[in-house]
Amino acid sequence: MYGLTGARSEAVVGWLGGPTTVSGGAPVGPEHGAGADAHALTCPEPDDEGCAGGADGAGGAAGAAGQDGAPGSTGKDGTDDAHVVAISDALVATGLDPTLARRVARAQAAAEADGVVLSVTSGKRTAQEQEGLVADAIKRYGSKREASRWVLPPESSAHVQGLAVDVGPTEGALWLGEHGLDYGLCRTYANEVWHFEPLPKGATTCAPMLPDSSSGW
């Protein structure tokens, strides 16, 4: 089991609401979220676009994920490629960036192989949805200043760009915090165990976490 020390465990699955579910068995519903990993990135597959300096964001999920192996074959991380493609396609259908979707799908399948449940609780959001989360956070925390530590406005939110995911439950989020770099995923904020964004093109390690999201306002 992955322990949670000094982090908010509340609402890892659905900070201001419960998770929804997309087809393919991947549940998809806070703003941002294991420190910057010290080890260098090892791409789960050598042709992962955007992994270790590849061309980020090109192509659809099915085609891009299909480059990693024929459906039904087993990937280098021991996960079934057809399963990864199905998860990736389902996430792309919600508006998530194809490269991010593929990375999340690989991580989700690997976590499953480790006996850990890893679900996407929130991915792509509309600007209107993000505005609603900001309003809810101000009401919940009592001030815009405190709310800014937990949620960003639409123009700054990676969720609105389809470039961020929140994951749960807590054990799954902690698993991804430990293994995320192996799949090109980085936890962004120290106060949010659940929020992950893609490793930037050309980078080999995750950037140090920010204390919270307030600097994005």
Condensed to tens digits (0 to 9), the pLDDT of residues 64-104 reads 333 333 333 455 555 668 989 999 999 999 999 999 999 99
Range of the domain at 131: 125-160
Q: Give the rounded distance of the alpha carbon of 81 from its chain centre.
A: 19
Question: In this model, does residue 15 exceed pLDDT 90?
Answer: no
In this structure, the answer to whether residues 62 and 153 fall within a common structural domain is no
pLDDT tens, residue by residue, 179-193:
999 999 999 999 999
Secondary structure in 3-state letters for 81-138: HHHHHHHHHHHHHCCCCHHHHHHHHHHHHHHHHCCCCCEEEECCCCHHHHHHHHHHHH
* pLDDT the model gives residue 68: 35
User: Phi, psi (5° rounding) for residue 26?
Assistant: -105, 105
Sheet (strand 165-168) strand order: 119-122, 165-168, 195-198, 185-187
Query: Taking a C-beta distance cutoff of 8 angstroms, is the pair 75, 81 a contact?
Result: yes
* pLDDT the model gives residue 32: 37
In this structure, the answer to whether residues 199 and 138 fall within a common structural domain is no
Specify the DSSP element, H or E, that contains 22: strand 21-22
Least confident of 38-47, 137-146, 184-193: 38-47
In this structure, the answer to whether residues 131 and 203 fall within a common structural domain is no
- Domain-located, residue 198: yes
- Domain-located, residue 44: no
In this structure, the answer to whether residues 116 and 169 fall within a common structural domain is yes
HSE-up of 66 (CA within 13 Å, CB side)?
7
* Calpha distance 80→72 (Å, rounded): 6
Question: In this model, does residue 167 exceed pLDDT 70?
Answer: yes
- Domain-located, residue 217: no
Q: What's the longest Cα–Cα distance across the chain?
A: 52
Evaluate if pTM is beyond 0.85: no
- Domain-located, residue 1: no
Least confident of 8-22, 90-104, 133-147: 8-22
The rounded percent of the chain whose pLDDT value lies above 90 is: 62
In this structure, the answer to whether residues 74 and 142 fall within a common structural domain is no
- Domain-located, residue 195: yes
Q: How many structural domains are present in the chain?
A: 2
* pLDDT the model gives residue 77: 55
In this structure, the answer to whether residues 83 and 148 fall within a common structural domain is no
In this structure, the answer to whether residues 132 and 200 fall within a common structural domain is no
In this structure, the answer to whether residues 169 and 100 fall within a common structural domain is yes
In this structure, the answer to whether residues 58 and 98 fall within a common structural domain is yes
In this structure, the answer to whether residues 66 and 155 fall within a common structural domain is no
In this structure, the answer to whether residues 109 and 75 fall within a common structural domain is yes
